[in-house]
Structure 1
Amino acid sequence: MVMSPLGDMLMKSLNLKPSAFGIAVSAYAFSAGISGLLTAGFADKYDRKKLLLFFYAGFIAGTIFCGLAESYAVLVAARIITGLFGGVIGSISMAIITDIFALQQRGRVMGFIQMGFGASQVLGVPIGIYIATLWRWEAPFWMVAILSIMIAVTITIYLKPLTAHLALQHDKSAFTHLWHTVKNSDYRVGFTSTALLSIGGFMMMPFGSAFAVNNLGVNYNQLTMLLMVSGLSSLLIMPLIGKLSDKIDKFKIFAFASVWMMIMCVLYTNLGVTPLILVMVFNILMMMGIMSRMIPSSALTSAIPEMSDRGAFMSINSSLQQIAGGIAAAVAGLIVTQPSKGAPLQHYNTVGYVIVVISIISILLMRRVDKMTKRKLADKKAAIIPEEAFAH
C-alpha cells in the first residue's frame, strides 16, 4: 500500500525500469516469506502479545530505514529488513483473531479486519501520495513509522497476554513443531490455496498507479481521488460481505466474487485513455470482487489448523502468501514493459489473463478447503452429541 501508489513517482525519480521496480516491491515479500518460515516453529512457543510486539518493533526500524534510503540499492536493502520483521506480524495477528473468535463469528471479524485495506486506501494512500508530492517519495515511510509507534504503544497498553495455546504444546523443539505442521496434508491444501490467491491478488497491484497515469490518462491529483473512492467503497463493502459470509455458504460467496473479479480484471487491463468517472466505477467494481473473496477465504482457511498448531500454520501460511506476492510482483515486472519514461505500459492486459487462469485454479482448491472445514465441524458436533447423551 506504500510502494504501489508511489510506483510512477519512484520509477521516474530513481530512473527505474518496470522489472527493477517489481524487484523493489517483491524484496519485502520474499524476505517476509523467508522470515515467516524460519520463525514458524517458534510461533506457538511464546505469548502471542510479546511475539507481536517484538516483530512490530523490527518492522518500525525497517520502515525508518526506508525513509532514510537515498538510492535504489539502499531502498531494496531497507525493504528486505522491513520484510524480515513485517512478514510475521500478519500471521501472529491472524492467530490472535482465531484464538479469540469462533468460526461462526469469524466472517464478520474478517470483514472488519479487511476494512484495514480499505482504510489504508481511504486515508493512507491519498495522504501518502499527497505528502510525497509535497516533499519527496520518502515521506510516506516516515508517516507509516510514526503511526506504527503509536499503534505499538496501544498494543502494549490494551492487548492482554495470550497464552492458552502454550498448555497444548507437545513438540519439544521448534523444528519438530514446524515439521509436524508442514507434513499435515490438510494444512498443505490450505497453504497452496493461499499462495495461489496471493499470486492472483498481487499481480496487478505493483503497476496499478503507473497504468492509471500512463495508460488511462489519470493525473496525480486524480489518482489520489481515485484511490480514495475505491478505498471508501471497500470500507462500505467489507462489513456487509463479512456478515453475509456468516449467514450464507462461504465458498459460494468466494466463487461468485472470484468470477466477478476475473471479468473486471480483463475489462480494466484492456482500457485505454478513459474518463475519470468510468475509471472510478471500474475500480470500485474490481475492488468488490478482490475484497469479497478475501473475507470468506480467510475465514475458511483459519478453520483448518488445530489450536496447538495455529501459530505455526498462520506463520507458514503468511510466509507463502508473502512469497507468492513477491513472485507475482516480479513476474508482473517481467511481463509489463515501458518503451520510455512516461510512455504507456505494454502487456498489462496479459497480467489480467494470467490472473483469470490462476483464479480458476484457486476456486477448485478453495472447494477442497471448504469440504475439509465442513467435515471438521461435523466431526466436532458428532463428538459433542455422545458426551451430552452420557451427561443425561
Structure 2
Amino acid sequence: MQAPQTTTFTSYQKIVIALLALTQFTVVLDFMVMSPLGDSLMKSMKISPTQFGFVVSSYAFSAGISGLLTAGFADKFDRKKLLLFFYTGFIIGTLFCGLAPTYETIVAARIITGLFGGVIGSISMAIITDLFSLQQRGRVMGFVQMGFGTSQVLGIPISLYLANGWGWQAPFIMIVGLSIILAIVILKILQPITAHLAIQSERNALSHLWHTIAQRNYRIGFMATSLLAIGGYMMMPFGSVYAVNNLKVGQQQLPIIFMVAGISTLITMPMIGRLSDRINKFNLFTIASVWMVIMVLIYTRLPVIPLWAIIIFNVSMMAGIMSRMVPATTMTSAIPDPQDRGAFMSVNSSLQQIAGGIASFIAGLIVVQPTNFSPLEHYDTLGIVTSSITLLCIGMMYRVKLLLDTSK
C-alpha cells in the first residue's frame, strides 16, 4: 500500500493509527515507567543515581545498537512482519524485567527489551510514511505520539498503584498482558505493507546501511534527532527522585502529577499536530523549544511548594518538551527517499536511543544523592545542560528546514 494523496483518512488508515498509537503506548510506558519507579527501585535495590542511570541507559544503548544492526534489512521485508517480530521480542524482554530480582538481572532484562523495543518506533515511522501523505503526517504523528500522554494519564498512575501494592515489578507484568492482546490484534487486522519492496535496489543489507549513512542530507537529519533526544532524555530518569526528595512529593501523590501532565499532553499533542500541518513547522518547533528552556530552568530550581504549584510547572515544562516532537519528527520524516525510509528510520531511531542513553548516563554522573533518602543535588546543573543542548537543536533543525526547502 502507498500513501494516498489526500488530507482525509480512510477507515483503514484510522485503524492503523489506532494500532500504532496503542503499540506506542506500551513501548513508551515500558520506558517511561522507569522514571516514576526510580525512587522505589533505587531504595528497594539500594542502588546509586549512577547505577540507576545505567539501568535506564542500558535499554537505550541496546536499542540503538539493535537499530543499527537491523537498518540494512529494514526495507527488505514486509513491515507488518518486522513489527510483529520485534514486538514479540519486546514482550519477552518486558516479562524478564518483571521477574528480575537483582540489579544485575534488571540491567540484563533492560538490554533484552531494548534490543527489540528500540526498533519498533522506527518501523512504525516507516509504516506512517508509507501509508500517509506528507499533508497527513502531522496529525498522524500527533495521534500516535499521544501514546506518551496516555501512558501518563492511564499507564503510569495504574503502574504506580500496582507498584505501591505489589512491588515495582508489577507494572511490567501489566504491560506484558496488554502487549500480548495488541500483538494478536495486529496479526489479525494489519494488512501486509510491501509497496517499498517493488522499488528496492540490488544492494545487500550492509551496502544499503552504508548508503543510508553516507548520504549527507540524511546525516543532517540524524544529528538533529540526536540533539533532540539528548535534550529530552537528560532530566527524565530522575524526575520522581527529584519530586520525592527535593520537592517533598509523597509516593501516593506521584500518580496525580503524572496523570495531570498526561491529560495535558493528550490535549496538546493533537493541537500541535494540526498546527504542524497548517503553519511553518520550524517556527512551531522554535517556539516550543524556547518555552521548554524557560520552564526547565525554573522547574529545576523550585523550592518546596504546594502540590498544585508543582503540577502547574510540570505541565508547562512537559508542554514545551512534547510540542517539539511533532514538528521535528514530521520534518525529518520528509528527508529520505521512499526506498531508503526503513533504513533511515532505523538509523534515526538508533541514534535517538543511543543519544538518550548517553544523556541518561551523563545525568547519572552529574546528579548526586548522598543517601537514598537525601535531596538530589546538582539537578539545576542538569537543567542548564539540557537547556543549552535544546538551543543547539534549534540551529540543527534550521538546517533540516533549509534542506527541505531546497528539495521542493
Q: Same fold (TM over 0.5)?
A: yes
CA distance in structure 2 between the partners assigned to 1:349 and 1:282 by the alignment: 15
Query: What is the letter of the counterpart of residue 286 of structure 2?
Result: A
Residues 117-196 of structure 1 aligned to structure 2 (within 5 Å): 117-196=148-227
Q: Which residue of 2 aligns with 1:318?
A: 349
Which of 387, 393, 400 is the aligned partner of 1:356? Answer: 387
Matched with 1:6 is 37
Q: How far did 1:171 drift?
A: 3.3
Alignment partner, residue 387 of structure 1: none
Which residue, out of 246, 262, 279, partners 2:277?
246
- 1:41 and 2:72 aligned: yes
Alignment of 1:6-25 (within 5 A): 6-25=37-56
- Amino acid paired to 2:276: S
Output the CA distance in 1 between the equivalents of 2:288 and 2:85.
36
Establish whether residue 223 from structure 1 lines up as the match of residue 223 from structure 2.
no
Give the 3-state SS of the residue equivalent to 2:304 in structure 1: coil
**Structure 1 position 87, deviation (Å):** 1.1
Residue type at the aligned position of 2:86: F
Q: 1:26: Cα distance to partner?
A: 0.5
Q: Distance in 2 between matches of 1:257 and 1:171?
A: 42
* Matched letter for residue 36 of structure 2: P
TM-aligned CA deviation for residue 221 of structure 1: 1.4
From 367, 373, 376, the counterpart of 2:404: 373
Counterpart check, 1:304 vs 2:335: yes
Q: How does 1:245-324 map to 2 (within 5 A)?
A: 245-324=276-355
Using the alignment, how far apart are the partners of 2:402 and 2:208 within structure 1? 26
Rg bigger for which structure? 1
TM-score (norm 1): 0.95
Determine the C-alpha separation between the residues in 2 that align with 1:113 and 1:371: 27
State the Cα RMSD in Å: 0.7
1:235 and 1:151 map into 2 onto residues whose CA distance is 21
Matched letter for residue 76 of structure 1: V
How many angstroms apart in 1 are the aligned matches of 2:393 and 2:91?
A: 33
1:384 aligned partner: none
Q: Deviations over 1:207-243 (max 9, x none)?
A: 0011000001110111110100000000011110100
Say which of 83, 94, 101 aligns to 1:63. Answer: 94
Unaligned runs of 5+ in 2: 1-31
Q: Distance in 2 between matches of 1:102 and 1:201?
A: 27
1:317-358 per-position Cα deviation (integer Å, ceiling 9, x unaligned): 000000001001000000000011211100001111001110
AA matched with 2:266? L
Please state how far the C-alpha of 1:375 moved relative to its aligned partner.
2.2
Matched residues in 2 for 1:306 and 1:65: separation? 38
State how far apart, in whole Å, the 2-side matches of 1:171 and 1:211 are. 52
CA distance in 2, matches of 1:24, 1:171: 40
Residue 236 of structure 1 aligns with which residue?
A: 267
Moved over 2 A (4+): none
Shift of 1:283: 0.9
- Partners of 1:248 and 1:109 in 2: how far apart? 16
CA distance in 2 between counterparts of 1:116 and 1:68 reads: 25
Alignment match of 1:116 (pick from 147, 151, 160): 147
- Give % identity: 63
Counterpart code for 2:260: V
Structure 1: gaps spanning 5 or more residues:
379-392
Between the aligned partners of 2:303 and 2:111, the Cα distance in structure 1 is 35
C-alpha displacement of 1:113: 1.1
